[in-house]
Amino acid sequence: MALIYTGYYNPDDYDGMKIGDYDKERFLPYVGYLNDKGVAEDYFFDTFLMLTAFSPYKGSLGRYYDWTAGSRPGTLQDWKWAMDRVFEKDIQLDGLEAAVEQVSGDLKDPGKKVNVYLTLPFPDPQSKDFGDFNGDGTVKNLESLDTRKALIRWYVDTMTARFEQQKYKHLRLSGFYWLQKDLDMTVAGEQESVKYASEYLRQRGMRLGWTPWFGARERGNGQRLGFDFSAIQPDHYSDENSTMTRVEETADIAYANEAGVEVEFDQRMIDLPRYRQAFYNYLITGVKKQFMNDALIAYYQDIYALYDLYHSEFPAVKQMYTDIYKFAKGKFTAPIGSFAGRVVDRDGNGIAGATLTDQGGNVVAADVYGRFEIRGLYATQNAFVVEKPGMQGREVTVDICDRQTLYRDIALQHVLGSPLKESSEHATVSFDVYNPATKPQEHTAPDFTIALPSKLATMDIGAVWAPVVFDKNDKERKKADAVFTSSDPAVIEVLPEGKIRAVQAGTAVIRAQVGPFEAEAVAIEVAPWTYHRLKGAETSLTVNKGFDNPVLRDPLQGGPQYVVKEGSTLKIAHKYNRGNDMWMVFDHAGANKLYGMKEWRLSPNVNKDASPDFTRSSVMLCPDVSDWIGPYIVGANQNGNGGGQDFTGGNHNYDGGENSSATGRTVQYKVWVDGKELRDGQVISGKKVKIEVINRIQGFNTKEQDGSGREILQETVTYEVEGGQVQVHTEIQPLEDITLYRYYGLQSVNGAWNHEIRYYAGETEVARSEAGKYSDSGMKSQHPDVDKYWLSSAVQDGSQHQLLVSLDRHYGLGQLQYLADDQPVVFTQAYGKSYFLQVFNKSAVLKKGSKVAWRGQYHFFSTPAQERTIKLLSNFGNGYAVPEEEASYRWEVIGDAVEKVSESGNRIRLKGVKEGTAAIKATITYNGKSQTYESIVQVGDKRQADTTELQQLLDEVKLLLRQTGNQYNKEKGQLAEASIHIMRKLKQEGFTQANVDEAADQLKEAIAIFKKAAALK
C-alpha cells in the first residue's frame, strides 16, 4: 500500500512550489515499475491510500492538540476541503486513473484495477462548532457520540457517491483510512466511533484501516478495536536515537497481533547516510523477520519520494527505487558482509576459545589464535557480546558494509581479583590472585580506531586523505603509529607516507596495524564529486512596489466582494491573498461609538474567489483599538464654557475615563451595494460597497461632563470599498462659527502593519523607519509634496501584510493651507499610530454654513515575501551531500534585481528589489578542490512561463520511445538521455520564459535527430 500525501502544504515553505499534487506523471513510477525509458516492465503498488492530513484552513483533520501553534479543532470547512481535494481535475484520483491506464497499456492488461482507500478524518469531540454537515440548519457539536456517528455515515456516503459518479475504469474504492494515529481509551466514545465506522463500512462492502505510531498505547490492538487491518509505524526513520531494534520490535508486535508494518522513508536518504541506512534497516528486517512476504506493508514516502528516486541521476539512488520494488514483490535480497579479527588480551596476544554472541543468541568461538570470522551478517549495525571466562566481557558494535569484510581486534582484560589463564600453542601464562597491596593497577586494554578527516566516508576521485589512529580509551586521543593497508588498491591506494588516495569509483576497506593490534577498520566509498545545483531559484522572486495591489491586478485574486449586514455589524469579504479572504468589519466603535471601520479579520480560503460563507472561522488581524478617522481640536467662537484645548470626536470622550460622556455621536448611517441599499441578513455580492455616516461633534469648550455638551460641527464620512481599497471622503460643516486648531483626518492604527513605514512624495521615497518608534516625513518646507505612507508587517506565513494610506493633495484640506511649514506632513508615534497633519499652527476659522473637506484612501493588501533562500546542493556520485561544515563557500550576486540579505555556508538570502534577472554564482571549496556554479534568478516576472509547447514535445518524446521498435534501442537511449539533460538544466536554471523557449528548441532538435536516425517522418 502506497501512502500518497495529498494534503495542503504552504508553498511559501517549499521555495514557492506547490506540492501534494499527483498527476499522471507523478503516479507512473508508483503504478508501474518503470525502466529508464519510462516504460512499465511490471506493476508496482496495487493499493493506494489517498492521505489528506492537512487543511489550508488550519483546522486539525486529526486530533486537536492545544500545543500545536496556529491550529484549532477541525470543522466542516476543513473536512469539505479534504473531500474536494481528491477529486480535483487531472490530479489525485484522476492522475492515478490516467497512470493505471498507461501502465496497463504497457503491460497489455486493459482490465487492470487498483485498490483505493480514502482518508476518514478524525471526528474530534473537541470540535463544538463543527458546522452543518447534513443540511438541517444546525451547527453540530461533536461532543455527542451520536453526532459523530452521523458525521461518519454522512462522510462515507458522500465520498462513496462522489467516487462512483466518476466512473473510474481502473480504480476500486476498497475502504477508508482512520487518520488519527492513536486511540485514547480515556475519551468517552472514541472506541465506539471506530467500531461504528468499521461496521458501517463492512455493511457497504468496504474496510477500515489504521497506521498507529510506535508510541500509541493501543498499537497492537487494531483488530480488537474494530479495524479491519493496521500497519504499525516503527518510527525508526524519524527517530535518530533508535536502531534497527525498533523495527524488529515493531515486527514482533505486528506478528503477534496479525498486523502489518509501515516502511518509512523520504528524500533525506538520498543525501544523508544515516537516513539511507535507516531505510535499509526496514528492508533488512523485512527479510530477517519475514514480514516482507507474510504481512501487509504500508509505504510512507513523504511527498514524491519514490518519484524522485526513479528520476534521480545517481545509480545508488535509482537502485533504492528498484530495491523498494523488489521488496514489494517479495524478491529483495538483503545486503550482507563479514566481520573478522581477533580477540586479544591487553598485550595483543590471542585468546583461544573467546566467544562472540549476537543479539539473536548465535555464538561464534575464536580459534586457538583468538581469530574469528563471521560471514553473512546483514549490512547494518551488528552488536556482539565478547566473553571469555576469567576476563571482563564487553559489547562491541560494528557497521557491516555490503559485500565487504570489516576487521578489528577486540581486546579484553582479566577480571581483577581472580586468576586469568591465556593459552597459545607455545605456552600457558598464569596470573596470581590480584593483591592491591603488592601489585600495580592494570592498564585498560586498548581499543584502536581509524579517524577520517571527514564525517562522510566518501572520497572524490583523486582526493588524498591523512587518516589517523587513536585509542578510544585514551582521554588525550594521542595519535598512534600505524601501518595502513587497503583491501582494494585499485580503488584506494596507500601512499608511502601513510596517506590514502582515491583512484577510481568503488569501495575499499582501510585497515591499520598498531604494533600487535589491528584497529577497527573502516569502509570508504570512492565516488566522483560532480553534481551541483542551486535550489530555490526555480520560481520567480516577487518584487513589492507597494503601490501595486495584487488583489486588484491579479485575476486569480479578483472576483466579487460579498457583503452581509446583521444589525449594525457590516462585513465585507474580498479575496486577500492565496490563502485567505479579508473581512472588513464596520460597526460602532471606540469611546464615542461612532460608526466606521472597526476591525479586520482573515478567514482561510484557498479557492480562487472570495467565499460568501460568513459562518466560517476567522482570526483577528486588527481589532478595535483606536480611531481611523481623526478627532478634532476645535472650539466654538462664541458662548464657550472656558474648557482648555483638547481632542473631541473620534475615539476621545470627555476625559478618557471608561464611563466618561461622549463628545460625538453618529446621527445616521446607510449602506449601498452597487447603488442599491443593503437590507439586513442578506449576503449579496457586489463590486462597490458605499457607506455614508453622519456624525455630530462637540468642541473642547462646549463638551460637558454630564453629557449635555453642545455639538458645533457635523461631519459626513463616506466610504467606498472595493477589493481592499477604501476611498474616504469627509465633509466638515460648522453648525456655528468655529476655529479648527488641530486636525489629522486621515490616520491609521498600525498594529498589524508594525514592521516598517516608508513616506512618499508621488513615487519618490523621502524617508523610512521602523514602525515601532517615532518618525516623520520631514518638515513641510523640506518635503512639501508628501502624499502617502506605506506600512508593512514582518514576514508571516510566507507573506507580508501591507497598508498604503494616501491623501489627495489637490483637494480641500489636503492642500495643507492650514499646516505650518515647520511641521511634518505625516508622522508616526511609538505607540503605533500614523497621522496626516492637515491643520496645525495655522488655525482654520470656519463660518456657520460653510464646508471644508478632504479625501484619501486606505489600501489593504498582502504580498508574498520578497526574500528567498538559495541553497547550493553539492553531491557525490553516490548521492551523498558534501558535509556543509567541511566546505567553504563564496557567493557572488551579479545584477541589481536582487540584493543580498545574508549568507551562511551553503545558503544565501536574497531580496527582490526590481523586476529583471540577476546571476547568482556560488563557489564551493572542499578537500582543496573548488567548483563554481551559476544560476539565474528571475524577479517580478508578472507572466508565468508558457510551457505548453514544451509539454507537447515531452509527450512526443514519450510516444516515440514507447512506439519505436527495439532495433533502435541505441537511438532511443540517446533521445531519452538528451531529454533528461535538457529538463535537468531547465530545472537548475529556472523556468523563465527564455529558458523554457531554449529548452523547447533543444528538444525539437533532439527529436529531429532521432526521427532521422530511425527513418521516421
Is a pLDDT exceeding 70 seen at residue 434?
no
- Cα gap 874→314, rounded to integer Å: 13
The pLDDT tens digits of the residues spanning 955-997 come to 888 888 888 888 888 888 888 888 888 887 776 666 667 778 8
Residue 729, helix vs strand vs coil:
strand
- Check residue 544 and give its pLDDT: 61
Which amino acid appears at position 298 of this protein?
A
Name the residue with cell 549568507. 903
Find out whether 617 and 77 touch, Cβ atoms under 8 Å: yes
What mean pLDDT is predicted for residues 241-266? 96
What mean pLDDT is predicted for residues 926-931? 89
Alpha helices in 232-290 (DSSP H): 244-256, 268-271, 273-288
Which amino acid appears at position 349 of this protein?
N
Find out whether 308 and 879 touch, Cβ atoms under 8 Å: no
Is a pLDDT exceeding 50 seen at residue 557?
no
Check residue 457 and report its DSSP letter: -
- Cα gap 247→464, rounded to integer Å: 38
- Check residue 417 and give its pLDDT: 41
The pLDDT tens digits of the residues spanning 600-622 come to 999 988 888 899 999 888 889 99
| 207-210 and 229-232 beta bridge pairing | parallel
- Check residue 60 and give its pLDDT: 92
Nearest to 134 by CA among 92, 79, 184: 79
- Cα gap 236→248, rounded to integer Å: 10
- Cα gap 251→581, rounded to integer Å: 48
Find out whether 247 and 268 touch, Cβ atoms under 8 Å: no
| 833-836 and 867-876 beta bridge pairing | unpaired
The pLDDT tens digits of the residues spanning 560-601 come to 899 999 999 999 999 998 889 999 999 999 999 999 999 999
- Cα gap 738→735, rounded to integer Å: 8
The pLDDT tens digits of the residues spanning 664-684 come to 999 999 999 999 999 999 899
Confidence bin at 15 (pLDDT 50/70/90) = low
- Check residue 545 and give its pLDDT: 55
Burial of 654 (0-12, 13-18, 19+ CB in 10 A): buried
CB-based contacts of 287, cutoff 8 Å, min separation 6: 332, 333, 334
Indicate the length of the chain as a whole number.
1017
- Cα gap 252→286, rounded to integer Å: 11
- Cα gap 753→622, rounded to integer Å: 9
- Check residue 176 and give its pLDDT: 98
Is a pLDDT exceeding 60 seen at residue 433?
no
Check residue 444 and report its DSSP letter: P
DSSP letters, 189-231, are THHHHHHHHHHHHHHTT-EEEE---TT-TTTT-HHHHT-SEEE
- Check residue 556 and give its pLDDT: 34
CB-based contacts of 630, cutoff 8 Å, min separation 6: 650, 743, 744, 745, 746, 747, 835
- Check residue 609 and give its pLDDT: 87
Is a pLDDT exceeding 70 seen at residue 16?
no
Find out whether 373 and 312 touch, Cβ atoms under 8 Å: no
Burial of 137 (0-12, 13-18, 19+ CB in 10 A): exposed
Confidence bin at 219 (pLDDT 50/70/90) = very high
Torsion angle defined by CA atoms of residues 806, 810, 813 and 817, in that order, rounded to the nearest 10 degrees: 120
What mean pLDDT is predicted for residues 733-744? 98
Find out whether 621 and 638 touch, Cβ atoms under 8 Å: no
Is a pLDDT exceeding 60 seen at residue 946?
yes
Residue 949, helix vs strand vs coil:
helix
Residue 348, helix vs strand vs coil:
coil
Least trusted range by pLDDT, from 10-24, 589-603, 770-784 = 10-24
- Check residue 426 and give its pLDDT: 31
- Check residue 555 and give its pLDDT: 32
The pLDDT tens digits of the residues spanning 83-137 come to 999 999 999 999 999 999 999 999 999 999 999 999 999 999 999 999 999 999 8
Confidence bin at 543 (pLDDT 50/70/90) = low
Secondary structure of 532-577 in HEC code, one letter for each residue: EEEECCCCCECCCCCCCCHHHHCHHHCCCEEEEEECCEEEEEEEEE
Compute the half-sphere exposure of residue 268: CA atoms within 13 Å on the CB side of its CA: 13
Nearest to 792 by CA among 723, 868, 860: 860
Find out whether 931 and 974 touch, Cβ atoms under 8 Å: no
Cα–Cα distances (Å) from 581 to 47, 577, 605, in that order, read: 38, 7, 6
- Check residue 435 and give its pLDDT: 37
Burial of 96 (0-12, 13-18, 19+ CB in 10 A): buried
Is a pLDDT exceeding 80 seen at residue 1004?
yes
- Check residue 694 and give its pLDDT: 98
Average pLDDT score, the chain:
91
Handedness of CA 166, 168, 171, 172 (dihedral sign): positive
Name the residue with cell 489504521. 210
Is a pLDDT exceeding 50 seen at residue 441?
no
What mean pLDDT is predicted for residues 139-168? 97
The pLDDT tens digits of the residues spanning 31-76 come to 999 999 999 999 999 999 999 999 888 889 999 998 877 788 999 9
Confidence bin at 425 (pLDDT 50/70/90) = very low
The pLDDT tens digits of the residues spanning 878-906 come to 999 999 999 999 999 999 888 898 999 99
Percent of the chain with pLDDT over 90: 76
Cα–Cα distances (Å) from 612 to 85, 596, 719, 791, 882, in that order, read: 20, 22, 21, 29, 52
Percent of the chain with pLDDT over 70: 94
Find out whether 50 and 117 touch, Cβ atoms under 8 Å: yes
| 747-749 and 833-836 beta bridge pairing | antiparallel
